Amino acid sequence: MIVLLEQKEFYRLNGLSVKEKNIPVDKTKICIMEYSIMQIKMEYYMKILLLFVLLLLISCNPSQEKLCVIDRDVRTLVDSTFLRDIKQLQIYNDTLYMLDGALGKVIKMDTHLVGSAIDFADSNHSSSSIIPVSIYVDGDSVYVMDANVRGIQSLSLKSKHGHITQLMGASGTRFFVDKNHFYVSYVTEQNCIMVVPEKALLNDTNVVFIGENFHFSTANENRNRNIRYLLYDKKYYYAISDNQPIIEKYELGTNTLLHAFDFSDVPMVMANIHFIESQILDDSSYYVMIEDAYIYRNTIYLLCAKLGENYTRNTIIEVELEPNMYVSNIYKLPGKSYTSFCVYKSNIYAFNKENNSLERLKMGNK
């Protein structure tokens, strides 16, 4: 009966009028009918599979911004001093370190945003004399790029004593230390990175200049637009421009440029490039796209500004480093203007310049 009913249905679908009791058992037509039913089922399953793939692609699309939510924020230190101009946020051993350019202080906090300024009064130079423009923390030392002494002070968190590595003309962007050598952004006619032995004096013959410059139209542009953020990650380090959508990967030890990753295909970055190309500037000015950069667990994070009307700097672009560099996520911070940030576990710590608050934010869908 099942066979007869299926065959009858097949006839009806093909415009034939038959009586069930008179239907002959035609094996050829039954096979055609079964094939048609199978084809319909396959088309149905293919549609479901296609829908699943589309949903997966949408969920994995890095251009889909993920909104970060404030989990906690703070505007003062434990002594009620107000935060004013936080820069160079970084985390080491579950402790946040940063500098406040307006206060002229290096600050440390726990991950619950409770903290105070570090007192370097027992160092070779009193804390009041330090004018910090950049910091790097490693082990029990805070390395402070100090405009007052025109160099880097190596200050111990334990003994508070340190020594000075003399520099002239370093940019004040993020730098790092590896095997008693400082890697700092320093622009010459040909190079953009300087490697300086710790305790070096000016004109030290062991200073090495590396990193090839981008080439612009004038000498002023070459000098101003070749500054880099330098980020350290075990065997490699990365140089990031503040005005070009390029991440350069170098090998530690040999200082060999291994790869340059171009992320100009990110829609926001592409829009910035179109805006810049539409503007007329003299060679002493340029637009900053990348406000800050940070590295955490084989991932680079870039604080990116949106140029043009309704200017904001509240977007973080996430770039995975292994096996090859690619943009994996884009995060949107709730405020409009952030100056510095760092990443730890599933949180972003960022300074909101609108209300001078340090925020701990949950990374959206992380």
Q: Are 96 and 190 in the same domain?
A: yes
CA distances from 304 to 27, 82, 237 (A): 68, 26, 20
User: What pLDDT score was predicted for residue 8?
Assistant: 47
SS3 letters for 214-244?
CCCCCHHHHHHCCCEEEEEECCEEEEEECCC
Closest among 101, 160, 93, 181 to 135, alpha carbons compared: 101
Residue 31 is part of which domain span? 2-60
**End-of-domain residue from the set 60, 77, 95:** 60
Q: What's the token pair of residue 305?
A: 């500004």
Q: Are 187 and 319 in the same domain?
A: yes
Q: Are 190 and 312 in the same domain?
A: yes
Q: Are 88 and 217 in the same domain?
A: yes
Q: Are 46 and 115 in the same domain?
A: no
Average pLDDT, the chain: 86
Distance CA 115, CA 109 (A): 4
User: What pLDDT score was predicted for residue 147?
Assistant: 85
In the beta sheet, which residues pair with residue 91? 96
Average pLDDT over residues 293-306: 98
**End-of-domain residue from the set 60, 88, 109:** 60
CATH of the domain at 117: 2.120.10.30
Q: What's the token pair of residue 349?
A: 């710590």
Q: Are 32 and 165 in the same domain?
A: no
Strands 338-344 and 151-156: unpaired
Q: Are 108 and 25 in the same domain?
A: no
Query: Does residue 117 carry a pLDDT above 90?
Result: yes
**End-of-domain residue from the set 45, 60, 75:** 60
pLDDT tens sequence across 39-85: 766 776 666 665 554 444 444 455 689 999 999 999 999 999 999 99
Cβ–Cβ < 8 Å for 209, 193 = yes
Q: Are 97 and 231 in the same domain?
A: yes
Query: Does residue 125 carry a pLDDT above 60?
Result: no
Q: Are 213 and 79 in the same domain?
A: yes
Q: Quote the number of domains for the chain.
A: 2
User: What pLDDT score was predicted for residue 50?
Assistant: 58
Average pLDDT over residues 150-177: 85
Distance CA 110, CA 95 (A): 5
Q: Are 159 and 296 in the same domain?
A: yes
pLDDT tens sequence across 214-234: 999 999 999 999 999 999 998
| Alpha helices (H) along the chain | 2-13, 27-60, 219-224, 267-277
Cβ–Cβ < 8 Å for 198, 181 = yes
User: What pLDDT score was predicted for residue 3?
Assistant: 41
Q: Are 160 and 43 in the same domain?
A: no
Distance CA 173, CA 145 (A): 9
Average pLDDT over residues 14-33: 52
Indicate the residue type of 218. Answer: T
In the beta sheet, which residues pair with residue 216? none
Query: Does residue 95 carry a pLDDT above 80?
Result: yes
User: What pLDDT score was predicted for residue 99?
Assistant: 95
Alpha-carbon torsion (120, 123, 125, 130), positive or negative:
negative
Q: Are 135 and 211 in the same domain?
A: yes
pTM: 0.82
